[in-house]
Amino acid sequence: MTEPDATRDPGAPAPGSSSVPPPATRREARARAAAGWAAGAPDAPAPGVTGPGAVPADVPDAPDAHAVVITGPSPARRYGRGRVVVAAATSAVLVAAVAIAGVQLRAAGERAAEAEQRAEAMGLAAELASAEDDFLADRQRAADLDASRRSADAGRAAREQAAAEEAARVAAEQAAAEAARAAEEQAAADAAAAAAAEEATRRGAASGAPAGAPSSPGIAGWVDGRPVDAEGNVLWVTSVPTADGDGSNGNMPASAMCQVPWGTDQLGFAQYLRCDAAEALTALNEAFRAQFGASIDMDLTYRSYADQVAMKAAFGGLAAAPGTSSHGLGTALDVQEWPGTYGFGTARYDWLVANGPAYGWYAPARVRQGQPYEEYWHFEYGPGRTS
């Protein structure tokens, strides 16, 4: 603080003026009084003393810190240099105290702010740690779940693999067993067939079976060149045309006859028809197969004169007179005598009657249902005819 200089004090009174101006405010008055009292000024009334310039009764005993902002005439002029120094020092101390208090206040504020920041940082850190813990826990749960799922998958795959291997093993065993069984059955069938062929050959040779005659379990033996069943009944079969035939009924030359290429009778005997009839029957049979999924079941076709004579002897009035049967010309077909399959009114019979004429084959009127000689099994070849 600059020491007051009375000579340069702008507040100094003009020369010749010895009077002090009255205090402008009550505060100023109070400050003057306090300063004067503290310095022991003889012209300053003590607090509480009445009189000109006296301080009101409510003036405090201690000097006011605000005294440093005194305005007006210089204190040095009024109270002397020593008092001013004391007042200035006091003011300096007070200002310093205020400054220190302010610094301390700022420091405290800064510490509080730092503490608050630290607390906030700690809170954030805790929050972060908590979030991190949650994240790690979630990741651990996901990893556990994944591991559990992988384990379950592996277990399932292992079970499926084991089941597949077991199934493959069982299938292989079954296939091997079936193959062995099939081989056994085949061997047994082969042995039975060989034995049957041997027996048939032996019997045929013994009874004079014709060359090329089929062997069949249904043929028990041969009598006069004809097959017989176990009871000795003749099994009437299709005759084989001979090379020396003269072309008459029952004597068709082999050169005019054709073997039906797609079937035999049930005993395995070949079927023979005049070649044009055989060709037409083959075409008819193709249509029949398309309709029923199987070929026509043939029984008898060509019949030699000798066989016609033998049949007349066996059946009497039921057989045609020898030399008159269409079978002797190779233009007749008897299907199997199966009434449930080819009998009147069956699907096959009706189909053959309806579709046969388109191929030259028809059911003659004399053997239709209700006629004296009805034979559902008998058909004849005659292009253009329908009955």
Binding region for Zn ion (CB under 5 A): 334, 378
Nearer to Zn ion by Cβ, of 265 and 334: the residue is 334
| Min separation Cβ 299 and Zn ion, Å | 9
Q: How many helices (H) and strands (E) does the chain have?
A: 7, 8
To Zn ion, the closest distance from the beta carbon of 296 in angstroms equals: 14
Residues, the chain:
387
Query: How many CB atoms are located within 10 Å of the residue 262 CB?
Result: 13
List the beta strands (DSSP E) in 288-354.
298-300, 332-335
Nearer to Zn ion, 202 or 366 (CB): 366
- Read off the DSSP letter of residue 45: P
Q: Which helix (H) or strand (E) holds 166?
A: helix 81-207
The residue among 83 and 378 lying less far from Zn ion, judged by its C-beta, is 378
Least separation in angstroms between residue 300's CB and Zn ion is: 6
Shortest distance, CB of residue 334 to Zn ion, whole angstroms? 4
Distances (CA, A) of 132 to 73, 215, 382: 73, 96, 105
**Cβ-proximal residues to 352 (8 Å cutoff; 6+ apart), any chain:** 284, 288, 296, 335, 342, 361, 363, 379
Cα gap 228→220, rounded to integer Å: 6
Per DSSP, 57 falls in state T
Q: State the burial class of residue 194 (Cβ atoms within 10 Å of its Cβ: 0-12, 13-18, 19+).
A: exposed
CA distance 87 to 78: 13
* Shorter beta-carbon distance to Zn ion: residue 80 or 323: 323
Q: By the 8 A CB rule, do 243 and 253 touch? A: yes
Nearer to Zn ion, 185 or 374 (CB): 374
- Indicate the residue among 78 and 274 with the shorter CB distance to Zn ion: 274
Structure tokens at 150: 């992988």
Distance CA 21, CA 71 (A): 12
Residue 222 vs 265, nearer CB to Zn ion: 265
Q: Least CB distance from residue 257 to Zn ion, whole Å?
A: 17
Minimum CB distance to Zn ion smaller for 91 or for 264: 264
Give min distance, CB of 194 to Zn ion, in A: 36
> Nearest to Zn ion by Cβ — which residue?
378
Minimum CB separation of residue 237 from Zn ion in Å reads 13
- Give the C-alpha separation, 197 to 202, whole Å: 8
Cβ at position 326, least distance to Zn ion in Å: 7
| Main-chain dihedrals φ then ψ at residue 13, nearest 5 degrees | -70, 155
* Comparison of 31 and 281: residue with beta carbon closer to Zn ion: 281
Report, in Å, the least distance between residue 284 CB and Zn ion: 16
